[in-house]
Amino acid sequence: MAEKTLEEKLMRFKPFCYIVEGLQKIVLPGFEGMTAYDLTKTYFTGILEGALSSRASSIAYSFFMALFPALLFLLNLIPYVPIDDFNLKFMAFIYELIPSQSQGFFQPIISDIAQNERAGLLSFAGILALFLMANGVNAIFSGFEGSFNVHINRSFFRQYAIALSVSIILALLLVTTITVLVYFEYVLNSLRDRDFMSDDTDIVLLSVGSYIFFTIMIYVTVATLYYFGTKEGKHSRFFSPGALMTTLLFMLTTYLFGVYIDNFSNYNELYGSIGALLIMLLYIWINSNLILLGFELNAVLRKLRKSHQPLNK
């Protein structure tokens, strides 16, 4: 007797049967009769069959390797930016991205680089950072192509060339994000100084505006990765459901991860200063999983849309 599939085993439980029946009654618009059950089944099959966790680990390692050279390159540029207190704004932005228990480890390194001009190191760090950043983006693209629902792959050199181009785009997005946030704060402070708003209103608008803009830039960044990530990516819309899901999950898990690290974890007590590195690596690994989950959703939607196209004829 053939071994039962996971679905057959789960169908023995009545609550699961009720869920399946409910999903089968939900017809998705624009998919010619496809149900929510078809989408859910294909999505979770891709996750289980596609070794998602292993692919996320590969991405996390490559990005961890790119983290320090990229920070070195960006922080060496700070003394040459003609904006008052730009280094403080930049460091505050970086600290917001780093888990709280890792900030103490990175703060001396960031402060040392930001306060010293090293022109020779700048040129070397620029080439190394770009190379390692491209490796990180290329690892993401390779993770995409390892999906159970992706069947068309690029050549190595074409993929690396695209990864290099996307790396430059991501760097420009980062610079744009920081510049806009600094300018936004400057405008609000000017309005406050001219008595157009109170201090409390200034603080609220700055917090809300920065949060909204940062969320939008995360969405654009993820959408860029998905759009250029595979040969089939351009067959989907740039602003895709997967990018939206990943952005929302990123904001949620970042908050929950911060709560966990601040209140429940004891990495620093167990491992000392190296605990900061472990926390950072765990944070990158979690977000790598989120990137793959969102991509998997887009891949499934493309696959199911293609499979239902003949019904439209």
pTM of the full structure: 0.76
List pLDDT tens digits, range 1-54.
344 455 555 666 666 566 666 666 666 555 545 666 666 666 666 666 657 777
Whole-number pLDDT of residue 313: 41
Q: Please check whether residue 51 is in contact with residue 146, taking contact to mean a CB–CB distance below 8 angstroms.
A: yes
pLDDT for position 180: 79
pLDDT band at 75 (very low <50, low <70, confident <90, very high): low
Element (H, E) at 36: helix 36-49
Q: DSSP letters of 51-69?
A: THHHHHHHHHHHHHHHHHH
Helices and strands per DSSP (H, E), number in the chain: 12, 0
Strand partners, 35: 27
Q: Which two tokens mark 166?
A: 């996307």
Evaluate if residue 143 carries a pLDDT over 70: yes
Angle, CA 142 vertex, CA 226 and CA 293 arms, to 5°: 50
Q: Where are the domains of the chain?
A: 50-306
Beta partners for 27?
35
Q: How confident is the model at residue 121 (pLDDT cuts 50, 70, 90)?
A: very low
